Amino acid sequence: MKVIYHPSFTQVYTHDPAAEPGRMEAVVAAIEDRVAFLEPTPATMDQIALAHTKAHIDHVNAMGLYEIAALAAGGAIQAARIGLTEPCFGLIRPPGHHASAGSSWGFCYFNNMAIALLALREEGLIRRALVLDIDLHFGDGTVNILGDKGWVTIHNPSARDREGYLAEVDQALTGVRPDLIGISAGFDFHQEDWGGLLTTDDYRSIGRKVRDAAQGAGGGCFAILEGGYNHRVLGQNVAALLDGLAR
Residue 7's domain spans which residues? 2-246
What is the reported pTM? 0.98
**Angle at the Cα of 121 (from 170 to 58), degrees rounded to 5?**
105
By annotation, the residues acting in catalysis are 98
Count of C-beta atoms within a 10 Å radius of residue 28: 18
Total number of domains in the chain: 1
DSSP string, 11-76: S--SSSGGG-TTHHHHHHHHHTTT-EEE---PPPHHHHHTTS-HHHHHHHHHTT-HHHHHHHHHHH
For 136-180, how does the pLDDT look when each residue is reduced to its tens digit (9 = 90+)?
999 999 999 999 999 999 999 999 999 999 999 999 999 999 999
pLDDT band at 247 (very low <50, low <70, confident <90, very high): confident
Confidence of residue 4 (pLDDT cuts 50, 70, 90): very high
Q: Give dist(CA 26, CA 2) in Å, integer.
A: 18
Q: Among 182, 106, 95, 188, which residue's Cα sits nearest to residue 146?
A: 182
Query: What CATH code is carried by the domain that includes residue 35?
Result: 3.40.800.20
The DSSP call for residue 104 is B
